Amino acid sequence: MDNKRKQIHTELEIVQEGFANGVAPGYPLFELEKKEMIEDAAEAYGKFLDALKCDWRNDPNSSDTPKRVAKAYVNDLWAGRYNEMSEITSFPSDGYDGIVIERNIPLTSMCSHHHQTIQGVVHIGYVVGNQGRVIGLSKLNRIVELFGRRGAIQEQLTTAIHNAVNKICENNKGVIVSIVGTHNCVSCRGVKHQGASMVTTKVSGVFSDNSNVARQEFFDSIKINNGNHPV
């Protein structure tokens, strides 16, 4: 990762390095480092199964489970902790000064408390400022992946995505991020309530004004203001 991109990435991180919802010490990790991490994590997970009195070594359905779980964390579920930030491109707005909205960006994350998955969607909107820039559309998805693919608290995740868009989209007039998520820690344990969803929203600039046209356009677009959540 080039120095400028690493500097931007570092500035975007709002939690302590090493925390479940932060980057791993020494990020980004090289492939050899990730391979060694998988081996260490697989060994530790085998001991975890031992403590649960699971004979995983002789169970044909579980004998490779420690390695599978370790690979899933490093390569998928927590990939945002270890991988470098993709290049985030932006372009001159060429006179466009309206609102940009991307709806229904898929979100897969993990609750930091119980290590259960969070599934949902992210809606992102921003108003382009004078002499402002627009972000490459797929780059919004990459921002969601960067911060979502790690341990997460949905409130903090909403703030992290908002701050990243706000920084990268230079001279904007406002940014809004809304996440609608279902948490397996609610549906599969504890109260075991199926179908419950959590909505978190972070706003800045013109979106802070409840009467602002852009704010109303955003909520009308994602239909979150009438409870019709697209999850």
Tens-place pLDDT, residues 156-173: 999 999 999 998 888 899
b vs e for 203-212, b when ≥16 Cβ sit within 10 Å of the residue's Cβ? bbbbbeeeeb
Cβ–Cβ < 8 Å for 151, 79: no
Tens-place pLDDT, residues 40-69: 999 999 999 999 999 999 999 999 999 999
What CATH number is given to the structural domain containing 113? 3.30.1130.10
pLDDT (mean) for 23-35: 94
Does the pTM of the predicted model rise above 0.85? yes
The pLDDT, as a whole number, for residue 225 is 47
Q: Who wins on pLDDT, 95 or 127?
A: 127
Residues 82, 54: Cα–Cα separation, whole Å: 30
pLDDT (mean) for 204-229: 82
The pLDDT, as a whole number, for residue 104 is 95
DSSP state of 169: S
Please list the helix, strand and coil fractions of the chain in percent, rounded to the nearest 5, in that order. Answer: 40, 20, 40
Residues 189, 177: Cα–Cα separation, whole Å: 28
**Claim to verify: residue 139 and residue 199 sit in the same structural domain:** yes
**Claim to verify: residue 50 and residue 160 sit in the same structural domain:** no
Cβ neighbours of residue 86 under 8 Å, at least 6 residues apart?
139, 142, 146
Across 24-28, 60-64, 208-212, the highest mean pLDDT is recorded for 60-64
Residue ending a domain, choose from 82, 102, 128: 82
**Claim to verify: residue 65 and residue 121 sit in the same structural domain:** no
The pLDDT, as a whole number, for residue 139 is 93
Tens-place pLDDT, residues 101-113: 999 999 999 999 9
Residues 146, 121: Cα–Cα separation, whole Å: 15
**Claim to verify: residue 47 and residue 142 sit in the same structural domain:** no
**Claim to verify: residue 192 and residue 144 sit in the same structural domain:** yes
**Claim to verify: residue 75 and residue 101 sit in the same structural domain:** no
Cβ–Cβ < 8 Å for 34, 74: yes
